[in-house]
Amino acid sequence: MAFCYFNSIPTSSHLISPDLSQKFKIPKLLHRKKRFGVLPRSSKVTAFYGLKAPPYELDALEPYMSKRTIDMHWGEHHRNFIEGLNKQLEKDDILYGYTMDELIKVTYNNGNPLPEFNNAAEVWNHDFFWESMQPGGGDMPVLGLLQQIEKDFGSFTNFKEKFIEAALTLFGSGWVWLVYYLKRNIVVRYFALILRVIDCCEHYLVVLVKREEKQLAIVKTSNAICPIVWDDIPIINLDLWEHAYYLDYKNDRAKYVNVFMNHLVSWNAATERLAYAEAFVNLGEPKIPVA
């Protein structure tokens, strides 16, 4: 059985590390060439990202999540994150051209987030959250996803209990996630060599094997932090900001979390995401051309 929790790192503003793009394999973008004089600078871009609609009608999750909640949560809070991010990006085009994933990793800045990070991450988190639910959701996963859950948590029941526990023990606002990641274990063995020269015993520490094991884990994060900043691959997430549930469940987080697991979570989406994650880990990050 394996699960783990990660806490967010305190935020402060620092400059982006010069080798950050290389670390995250972020391609050099056309706007950077323009900015540094290789090509004439283009006109200023004043809009970057649009509000993505949930993959179902806004009343499709009733009675478990009301249209009133989604109107407020998606139509106001999510929209405010988009608009706030675009206003930040209007001031300087240095970040123009990044995909949302790249933007989040760059502005996370090795745990010292830049001003754009919170809005960018909350946009990403909310898009992922809407797609982590479906009408008629809940029940149990099947096939490979169920097998992986049973392998990593012992049983689906154990996983469900751990996920709910993580959601209920998260302090303040944030998110709880099921992620797929590559666990690296260093296997170490000791060898004792008896040296009779001076009748003493010396011990040598030898690293024999570096094993890699792919597995699921439960992660909880505070505020806007999302696991892609650590290169984990999210499978499902649950929004634990109070605005996600107070209209329907007041301050009863436990009821909201249980309703999510029993009636809302999309195991169909999770199965597709796990298939992508397995291919991503096995084959490496795909090289996506940038226009």
Residue-averaged pLDDT of the chain: 78
Please state the pTM of the whole predicted model: 0.75
Instruction: Tell me: pLDDT of 164 over 60.
Output: yes
CA distance 189 to 187: 7
227 is a domain residue:
yes
CA distance 185 to 237: 26
Instruction: Tell me: pLDDT of 191 over 50.
Output: no
Tell me the mean pLDDT in the region 135-147: 94
57 is a domain residue:
no
Say what the pLDDT of residue 80 is: 96
170 is a domain residue:
yes
Query: Residue 239: CB partners within 8 Å, gap ≥ 6?
Result: 73, 125, 126, 129, 175
Contact 176, 167 (CB under 8 A): yes
31 is a domain residue:
no
User: Would you place residue 171 in the very low, low, confident or very high pLDDT band (cuts 50, 70, 90)?
Assistant: very high
Distances (CA, A) of 29 to 167, 204, 288: 38, 49, 12
3-state class of 133 per DSSP? strand
Contact 183, 3 (CB under 8 A): no
Nearest in space to 81 (alpha carbons), one of 125, 35, 28, 24: 125
User: Would you place residue 151 in the very low, low, confident or very high pLDDT band (cuts 50, 70, 90)?
Assistant: very high
Identify the sign of the CA torsion 219, 223, 229, 230: negative
Say what the pLDDT of residue 92 is: 72
Distance between the two ends of the chain, CA-based, in angstroms?
44
Sheet containing strand 200-222, edge to edge, reads 200-222, 174-195, 233-239
| pLDDT tens digits for range 243-263 | 999 999 999 999 999 999 999
Say what the pLDDT of residue 97 is: 80
Instruction: Tell me: pLDDT of 177 over 50.
Output: yes
59 is a domain residue:
no
Provide the residue range defining the domain that includes 237: 67-282
| pLDDT tens digits for range 202-244 | 444 444 444 467 899 999 999 999 999 999 999 999 999 999 9
Q: How many domains does the chain have?
A: 1
Contact 149, 159 (CB under 8 A): yes
User: Would you place residue 282 in the very low, low, confident or very high pLDDT band (cuts 50, 70, 90)?
Assistant: low
10 is a domain residue:
no
CA distance 74 to 61: 13
38 is a domain residue:
no
Write out the two tokens for 277. 């994650």
Say what the pLDDT of residue 70 is: 97
Q: What is the CATH number of the domain that holds 112?
A: 3.55.40.20
51 is a domain residue:
no
| pLDDT tens digits for range 1-49 | 444 433 333 333 223 333 433 333 443 333 332 333 333 334 444 457 9
